Structure 1
Amino acid sequence: MSRSTAIPDASATPQRVPHYIVMVLIIGVVLAIVECYFSVTINNENFYSRYSSIFRTLGCILVGACLAVSGTVMQYISRNTMTSPSTMGLTQGTALALCIIIIFSPSLNQWMIMVWAIAGAALGGLFAYSIAKLLPWKVKSLRQISGGIVAVCIITCISIMMYSSYSTIDYIDHLVNPIMLGNPRFTIWVLLPVTVVAILICWSLSLRVQHRSDAVRSVSLSWATLICMFMVILMTSISTMLAGPLGLVGIIIPSILRFFLKNPPIRWLILGSAIYGSVLILGLDIISRTIDPIFDISVMPITVIIGAPFLIYQIGKEIEKTILRYS
């Protein structure tokens, strides 16, 4: 029987983890430690700048982990390697919600802004899901990604029109530049606990589902799916609120890990995504600060440029699989 998807199945998780998976994870941790050193010390000659860089470094680590794990969990739930927060409208929905709040209610406190960001992510994902349901494609995976792309384009067009209609570019600059990454209070009290708790919940749910039979799993998986999707919405919205709409991180990292680790078990894929998502965002942040230490270069277009070939590859592979299935 041919394999229908490249998403690892938790029920088929082996008892012993191959040594090369552990080695790849260790390499990722080492890379993250080295990047942390450069991130804290680069262009920082006094105590204040280094103090700010510590929290910016921690913010990059947590944002990268959130976005990469969110993409991995979404792909595991949907059984579709093309889904991620940035291809299913969650990231764009959060950015649009933040833009609306900053334009029409700029005095709103940070906690209420976070609530609206979470609502925006949920509505963006629901909008993409609704469009996918209306499309006539027979193949579920292609219908999902088509609905997501349509939703992303519509939400992005609305955001662009709002940007051009209101002279608020100074206020919404954080949507395209990670200027909030050095916020100690938000990073320590919001992003850190949310990231740790959400990743642990996704990890534990994957282990619980692992030993269930198909009959029981079909009944109980709905609760696990709802909880995991709420964790995805939470991680995506808070990451976007902190660092702006970084695109396709949830496509880049899982695709690379599945290629090099030969479709690892889902629990190790989640862990690897957290590690290498941090490595990716932290590395890009270091590069942007090195090129222009005064004005940070936006990381958002860089992630889109890097992630676009991965998305195109996944779409091409799915189309090829569909042609072979119906030929």
Structure 2
Amino acid sequence: MEQIRKDQLTKKDTQKRLMKRLSAPHPAALILILSIGALILIMTASISIGVSDIGWRDILESFTAFDSSSTSHVIIRDLRIPRILAAALVGAFLAVSGVIMQALTLNPLASPSIMGVTSGSAFMIAVAFAFHPQSSYWQLILWSFAGAGLGTGMVFLIGSFSKRGLTPVKLALAGAAVSALLQSLSTIIAIHFNVARDISFWFAGGVAGVRMESVRLIGILAFAGLIVAFALSRSLTIMGLGEEMAKGLGIRIGWIKFISVLVVLILTGAAVSIAGTVGFIGLVIPHIAKKVMGMNYRWVIPGSAVFGAGLLVLADMAARTINPPYETPVGALTALIGVPFFLFLARKEGRG
């Protein structure tokens, strides 16, 4: 009886210390505020820089005194603002998806692009173009969500056959295999049904040509996903201590995992439906955020959203300026950062 009482007191003390840690002020708050300010500056600079450089005065006047006869004003309002907002949203969605996937699987290699989620979304969009060419934008979003679920399910199904369990490297290898398979099938569909031109945008990845209507539609849905992700932050932090500890502290593991997977599918499906297969943001950004913000997901999740948004806005700005007047695929630029980072992590995990 005395031992049970001691165990209960120990559990209560652990819970009190954890709750105090989660509620205590954190220097990450200041970092987050500064990061949001930097993101605003980057987005403003992105409006100015491009094939046609636009002065700051034109930018200000396009908001305060819009003139439809001014070429600069039209470029700002109809072309650059929608694509910059889309880039920020997509970067945030992919980064937060990566954070949640890494927290759920305790796998530092987990990300939407590596775990087959983005390839699954692109595959189902190819199917939609081939068999339902009249699909509306909302229908394409649903196809993208379904593909995200398909890719994730295939990766975990293949990984489950492993005799020694789902190690980080095995999951990453299963994700690479599933991604390659789905990309090959997408290419076959594109060639056979003569829709290669229609789906080439999703394979290259980018936000060129995005309209404000699309940004509004996807923003409302995925913004709700970000709110739910932030609401899960406390539970994800506690689950990082181990499932037994989390259960002892009253966390409903099954429900948290189910809701988290839904959030990942929504955010990734939304990102692919608007920007195609932009890879590695969901891998690189969560590690940077955890390094800067600490291991409290109350700060890691919003930090990842801001960092991911900033990275993709910068990548889109580079895509417009590297080889003007042609556009470089944004997915190629993010891969230049992501592939070496992935190889470094895989080598590190392989040693472990």
3-state secondary structure, aligned to 2:160: helix
For residue 66 of structure 1, the aligned residue among 65, 69, 93 is 93
Which residue of structure 2 lines up, in the alignment, with residue 158 of structure 1? 185
1:98 equivalenced with 2:125 (yes/no)? yes
Quick one: structure 1 residues 185 and 142, their matched pair in 2 at CA, closer, same or farther if it must change by over 3 Å?
same
1:202-239: CA deviation from partner (whole Å, max 9, x where unpaired): 11122256679533568712111111111110110111
Q: Secondary structure at the match of 1:58?
A: helix
Which stretch shifts more, 165-174 or 269-278? 165-174
- The answer as to whether partners of 2:187 and 2:196 remain within 8 angstroms in 1 is no
Which SS does the other structure have where 1:171 is aligned? Answer: helix
Q: How many residues align?
A: 309
Contact in 1 for aligned 2:39/2:309 (Cα 8 Å): yes
Q: Aligned pair 1:229/2:261, yes or no?
A: yes
Q: 1:289 to 1:238 in 2, by over 3 A?
A: same
Match of 1:7 in 2: none
Deviations 1:109-141 (A, max 9, x none): 222221111111101110111010112344532
Q: Residues 84 and 274 (structure 1 numbering): CA distance in 2 closer, same or farther, change over 3 Å?
A: same
| Residue aligned with 2:321, SS | helix
Structure 2 residue identity aligned to 1:32: L
Tell me the distance in 1 between the aligned counterparts of 2:250 and 2:174.
25
State the AA in 1 paired with 2:315: L
Per the alignment, residue 272 of structure 1 pairs with 303
Counterpart position of 2:62: none
Distance 1:139 1:111 in 2: 35
Does the CA contact (< 8 Å) of 1:59 and 1:181 recur in 2? no
Alignment of 1:188-227 (within 5 A): 188=216, 190-208=217-235, 214-216=246-248, 220-227=252-259
CA gap 1:112/1:34 in 2 versus in 1, 3 angstroms: same
Question: Which one-letter code corresponds to 1:48 in the other structure?
Answer: V
Aligned to 1:51: 77
In 2, Cα distance between equivalents of 1:103 and 1:210: 43
Distance 1:124 1:294 in 2: 35
Matched-pair contact (CA < 8 Å) for 2:124–2:147: yes
TM-score normalised by structure 2 residue count: 0.81
Percent of aligned pairs sharing the same letter: 24
Structure-2 change in CA distance of 1:60 and 1:231 (3 Å) = same
Match runs of 1:1-327 below 5 Å: 13-19=21-27, 21-42=28-49, 43=52, 44=54, 45-52=71-78, 53-138=80-165, 140-175=167-202, 176-179=204-207, 182-188=210-216, 190-208=217-235, 214-216=246-248, 220-261=252-293, 263-321=294-352
Instruction: After superposition, give the CA deviation of every residue in 1:41-98 in whole Å (9 maximum; x if it has no partner).
Output: 2325522111021111111110000000000011011111110111111100000111
Q: Which has the larger radius of gyration?
A: 2
1:277-324 CA-to-partner distances (Å, cap 9, x unmatched) read 000000010111122443321101111221012211221222222xxx
Q: Aligned-pair RMSD on alpha carbons?
A: 2.3
> Which 10-residue stretch deviates more, 80-89 or 199-208?
199-208
Structure 2: 5+ residue runs without aligned partners? 1-17, 55-70, 240-244
Q: Judging changes above 3 Å, is the alpha-carbon distance between structure 1 residues 206 and 256 closer, same or farther for their aligned structure 2 residues?
A: closer
Q: Distance in 2 between matches of 1:217 and 1:125?
A: 29
Contact 2:320 2:327 in 1 (8 A): yes
C-alpha separation between the residues in 1 aligned to 2:348 and 2:228? 31
Q: Deviations over 1:156-189 (max 9, x none)?
A: 222233344443232113212425653111211x
In the TM superposition, residue 101 of structure 1 has moved relative to its aligned partner by 1.0
User: Which amino acid is 1:56 matched to?
Assistant: R
Q: TM-score scaled to structure 1, two decimals?
A: 0.87
Distance 2:286 2:130 in 1: 35
Give the Cα separation in 2 of the matches to 1:111 and 1:251. 28
**What secondary structure, in the 3-state scheme, does the structure 2 residue paired with 1:82 have?**
coil
